[in-house]
Amino acid sequence: MKVTRRQFLKVTGATAAAMAVTDLGFDMSATASAVKELRIKNVTPTPTICPYCASGCGLVIYAQRDSAGKFEKLLSVHGDPDNPINQGCACSKGAAMFNLREIYDPETGEQVINPKRVQKPMYRAPGSDKWVEKDWNWMLDRIAEKIKETRDGSFIHQEKLEDGNNIIVNRTEKIASIGGSGLDNEECYLLSKMMRSLGVVYLETQARI
């Protein structure tokens, strides 16, 4: 009989738990079978790929469905032990996906997982202690204005060398760019081109953003 890695982990995990409690003198046979039934009742594991970065880790999503197979509730998201890329692991970002993703009740439209997650651009004016909701057009215009203002106010055209000659540098040291692993090759290329054209010299990236 061929046993998949996931089946092996399930069996060894359940056996270890049962043995540990049985060692204490309890008869866990009835409880173990009840737990086993509860764990698999109405739960359909669905393998998928993490959307956050190009590592392409495999995840398994457990969702509770009704008797007609309709989605009812997300129960768990974790690394897929059968996936050769991550072999059941997930980085902190992938492991926290359960709370990061917005999940809506299909009947009411209400956000049921992590309702505190911010979904719209929020703006806090200088000196204010309040965040207010803004639309994306307003926010993008505001970002563009601040970039232009900062870049123009800090632009260095020339620098003097030790020998007294001037050299053209065309840079700003007041703006930095940080990218994340959600950016693909083309987006990274465009971002670096745009930053270089502004004169930005501090470009960095961090994979877990």
Q: Which residues bind ligand SF4 (CB under 6 A)?
A: 50, 52-53, 55-57, 86, 90-91, 93-94, 181
Please name the amino acid found at residue 158.
Answer: Q
Residue of closest CB approach to ligand SF4: 94
**Closer to ligand SF4 by Cβ: residue 40 or 49:** 49
CB of 158 to ligand SF4, least distance (A): 43
Closest separation in Å from C-beta 52 to ligand SF4: 3
Phi and psi torsions of 96, nearest 5°: -90, 10
Of residues 53 and 203, the one with the C-beta less far from ligand SF4: 53
- In the complex, least distance from residue 89 CB atom to ligand SF4, rounded to whole angstroms: 8
93/171 with CB nearer ligand SF4: 93
Q: Report the residue number, 35 or 188, with the smaller CB distance to ligand SF4.
A: 188
CB of 49 to ligand SF4, least distance (A): 7
User: Nearest CA to 45 among 101, 8, 17, 6?
Assistant: 6
Task: List CB contacts of 143: < 8 A, sequence separation 6 or more.
Answer: none
Contact yes or no for 177/206 (Cβ under 8 A): no
Residue by residue, DSSP assigns 133-191 as E--HHHHHHHHHHHHHHHHHHH-EEEEE-TTS-EEEEEEEEEEEEEEETT--HHHHHHH
In whole angstroms, the minimum distance from the beta carbon of 96 to ligand SF4 comes to 9
Shorter beta-carbon distance to ligand SF4: residue 57 or 195: 57
In whole angstroms, give the CA distance from residue 76 to residue 60.
8
- The β-bridge relationship of strands 132-133 and 58-65 is unpaired
